[in-house]
């Protein structure tokens, strides 16, 4: 099992580029990986929510992870998405993502089923027993209608290969409580760009970011400054990108961020149903802010 307990910094929740005829755009994935690593990102996370994993076939999912792993070529760790609302399916997916070469797994809480806290614990325990890879739990109640409470997270932290959590509950008090109760080497990552600074202030060590698709270097700087207790300098950078951060969610993620990456010439502007292109009025706002920041 790879030792990622010292994982720190900024990771990108990578988008999945598609061609206009709805196939995986391999050339665009390679461009994005190079853009991220050259920009100074610390790790990559393909096939999460931002990667439109919900509409990828299992073959496509594994192909994307394998492609990112191969093109990254060990330059940074790759944490592959492996989540669903069916525990048996997640076990299979996690095993296959491990075979595809990922260094660790990011696994979202089961959605729609609305499991109890014991159900959540048993779900992750089953997945952890099925693979040797480190696992980062992903708590995003706004997407899943399911919240992992601090005491459940403490129980999960006792499982050897569950090494951390991507916290996107938006509840700073909950995240602070987790930070006080889990072992010191348990990794807490922000799952919301606007919350990165406060989460690091209560014990977090990084972020899995949407914004870093566009500005990997700047998001990485924010995290590094926070970890050095240089919060005023970090806030200056965050302030510069706060409107872009908001516009990235003016419509359902990842529609705005993929649209902006197409404006940057990194990929085609194509989505899988039920996601569709941005409203022209919103797209105009996004384009203007990209111009204001000198990104296009």
- Tell me the catalytic residues: 138, 166
The position carrying tokens 């996690």 is 94
Residue 44, classed as helix, strand or coil, is strand
- Nearest Cα neighbor of 184 from 214, 204, 161 is 204
Task: Please state, in angstroms and rounded to a whole number, the distance separating the CA atoms of residues 13 and 71.
Answer: 16
Q: What share of the chain is helix, strand, coil (3-state, %, to 5)?
A: 50, 15, 40
252-257: long-range contacts, CB 8 A cutoff, minimum separation 24:
253/49, 253/50, 253/210, 254/15, 254/49, 254/50, 254/51, 254/52, 254/210, 254/213, 256/282, 256/286, 257/15, 257/50, 257/210, 257/211, 257/213, 257/214
CA distance 93 to 100: 10
Going by C-alpha positions, the residue among 278, 215, 271, 208 that lies closest to residue 245 is: 215
């Amino acid at each position: 099992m790879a030792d990622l307990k010292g994982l720190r910094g900024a990771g990108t929740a990578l988008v999945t580029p598609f061609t206009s005829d709805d196939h995986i755009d391999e050339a665009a994935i390679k461009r994005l990986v190079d853009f991220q690593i050259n920009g100074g990102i610390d790790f990559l996370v393909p096939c999460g929510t931002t990667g439109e994993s919900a509409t990828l076939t299992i073959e496509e999912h594994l192909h994307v992870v394998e492609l990112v792993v191969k093109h990254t070529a060990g330059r940074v760790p790759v944490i592959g998405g492996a989540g669903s609302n069916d525990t048996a399916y997640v076990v299979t997916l996690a095993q296959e993502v491990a075979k595809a070469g990922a260094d660790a797994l990011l696994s979202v809480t089961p959605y729609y089923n609305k499991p109890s806290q014991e159900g959540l614990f048993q779900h992750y325990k089953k997945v952890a027993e099925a693979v040797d890879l480190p696992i980062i739990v992903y708590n995003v109640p706004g997407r899943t209608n399911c919240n992992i409470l601090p005491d459940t997270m403490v129980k999960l932290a006792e499982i050897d290969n569950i090494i951390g959590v991507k916290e996107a509950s938006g509840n700073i008090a909950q995240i602070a409580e987790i930070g006080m109760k889990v072992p010191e080497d348990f990794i807490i990552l922000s799952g919301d760009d606007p919350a990165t600074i406060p989460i690091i202030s209560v014990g977090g060590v990084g972020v899995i970011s949407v914004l870093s698709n566009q500005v990997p270097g700047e998001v990485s700087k924010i995290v590094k400054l926070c970890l050095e207790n240089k919060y005023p300098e970090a806030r200056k950078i965050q302030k510069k990108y706060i409107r872009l951060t908001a516009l990235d969610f003016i419509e359902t993620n990842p529609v705005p961020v993929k649209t902006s990456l197409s404006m940057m010439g990194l990929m085609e502007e194509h989505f899988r149903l039920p996601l569709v292109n941005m409203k022209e009025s919103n797209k105009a706002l996004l384009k203007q802010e990209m111009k204001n920041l000198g990104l296009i």
